[in-house]
Amino acid sequence: METFGERLHKAVAERGPLCVGIDPHASLLERWGLTDDITGLERFARTVVEALADRVAVLKPQSAFFERFGSRGVAVLESTIRQSREAGALVLLDVKRGDIGSTMAAYADAYLNPVSTLCSDAITVSPYLGVGSLQPAFDLAAAHGGGVFVLALTSNPEGPAVQHAVTVGGKTVAQTVIDEISQVNAGAQPLGSLGLVVGATIGETGHDLSAVNGPLLAPGLGAQGGTPDDLRAVFGESLHNVLPSYSREVLAAGPEIADLRAATDRVLAGVRAALG
CA distances from 34 to 43, 44, 50, 84, 223 (A): 8, 8, 17, 21, 21
User: What one-letter code names the amino acid at 110?
Assistant: A
Q: Are 180 and 186 in contact (CB under 8 A)?
A: no
Neighbour-count burial for 32-56, b at 16+ CB within 10 Å, e otherwise: bebebebebbbbbbebbbebbbebb
CA distance 110 to 123: 11
**CA-CA-CA-CA dihedral for 172, 177, 180, 182, to nearest 10:** -100
Q: Are 34 and 255 in contact (CB under 8 A)?
A: yes
CA distance 244 to 221: 7
Return the number of other C-beta atoms located less than 10 Å from residue 225's C-beta.
Answer: 11
Q: Which residues are catalytic?
A: 96
